[in-house]
Structure 1
Amino acid sequence: MSVVAFPSQPSPATLPGTAGMTTATAVERFLDSLTAATTRAGYTETLTRLATVTGPEHPVAALTPEHYAAVMDRWKAAAGATWNRHLSALTSFTVWTQRQELLATNPARRLERRKTARRGDRAIPRTRLETLFTNGAHAFRERVLWRLLYDTAARAEEILTLNVEDLDLEFRRARVASKGGAIEYVHWATPTARLLPRLLAGRTSGPVFLADRRAATSGRRAPAAADICPVTGRGRLSYPRAEYLFKTASAELDPHRQGWTLHQLRHSALQHLAQAGRTAPELQAKSRHQHLASLGRYVRLGEETSARITADADPIRRRRPR
Structure 2
Amino acid sequence: MVATVTRLDAHRAGSPAGGPTVHSAVDAFLDAPAIRGNPNTLRAYMNVLDRVAELLGPDQALASVADDDIADALGELWGAAKPATWNRNRAAVASWLSWCTTRRHWDAPAMPAAAERRREPTDDTKVVSRTRIDRLCRRRDVPLREKTLWRMLYESASRASAVLALNIEDLDLPNKQARAVVKGGDTMWITWGTDTAHLLPRLIAGRTRGPLFLSAHRPGPHRRATTDPRDLCPDTGRARLGYDRARILLGQYGDGLRLHQLRHSSATHLGDANTSANVIMAKTGHKSLRSVQRYVKPGLAAVHQATEALSSPRRRG
Partner of 1:3: none
Note the C-alpha offset of 1:205: 1.8
Partner of 1:269: 266
Whether 1:30 aligns to 2:32 is no
Partner of 2:179: 175
Whether 1:85 aligns to 2:88 is yes
Whether 1:186 aligns to 2:190 is yes
The 1:102–1:134 alpha-carbon spacing in structure 2 relative to 1, beyond 3 Å, is farther
Partner of 1:46: 48
Whether 1:302 aligns to 2:306 is no
Normalising by structure 2, report the TM-score: 0.78
Partner amino acid, structure 2, of 1:84: N
8 Å contact kept, 1:163–1:206: yes
| Total equivalences in the alignment | 298
| 1:181 counterpart SS class | coil
Partner amino acid, structure 1, of 2:265: S
2:176 & 2:298 partners in 1: Cα distance?
28
2:46 & 2:270 partners in 1: Cα distance?
33
Matches within 5 A, 1:183-222: 183-215=187-219, 222=226
- Structure 2: tracts of 5 or more residues without a match: 1-12
Q: What is the Cα-based RMSD across aligned positions, in Å? A: 3.5
Partner amino acid, structure 2, of 1:31: L
Deviation string, structure 1 residues 245-279 (Cα, Å, up to 9, x no partner)? 323332x3xxxxxx232222111111112222323
Normalising by structure 1, report the TM-score: 0.77
- Structure 1: tracts of 5 or more residues without a match: 1-9, 253-258
The 1:106–1:274 alpha-carbon spacing in structure 2 relative to 1, beyond 3 Å, is same
8 Å contact kept, 2:170–2:178: yes
1:209 & 1:28 partners in 2: Cα distance?
29
8 Å contact kept, 1:15–1:101: no
Note the C-alpha offset of 1:191: 0.8
Q: Percent identity?
A: 37
Note the C-alpha offset of 1:309: 2.1
8 Å contact kept, 1:274–1:299: yes
Matches within 5 A, 1:1-322: 11-12=14-15, 14-16=17-19, 18=21, 23=23, 27=26, 29-33=28-32, 34=35, 35-47=37-49, 49-50=51-52, 53=54, 58-59=58-59, 61=61, 73=76, 75-97=78-100, 104-106=107-109, 109=112, 111-215=115-219, 222-250=226-254, 252=255, 259-315=256-312, 317=314
| 1:185 counterpart SS class | strand
Note the C-alpha offset of 1:111: 3.3
| 1:211 counterpart SS class | coil
Note the C-alpha offset of 1:126: 1.4
Note the C-alpha offset of 1:97: 4.9
Deviation string, structure 1 residues 128-157 (Cα, Å, up to 9, x no partner)? 111221123233222211110101111222
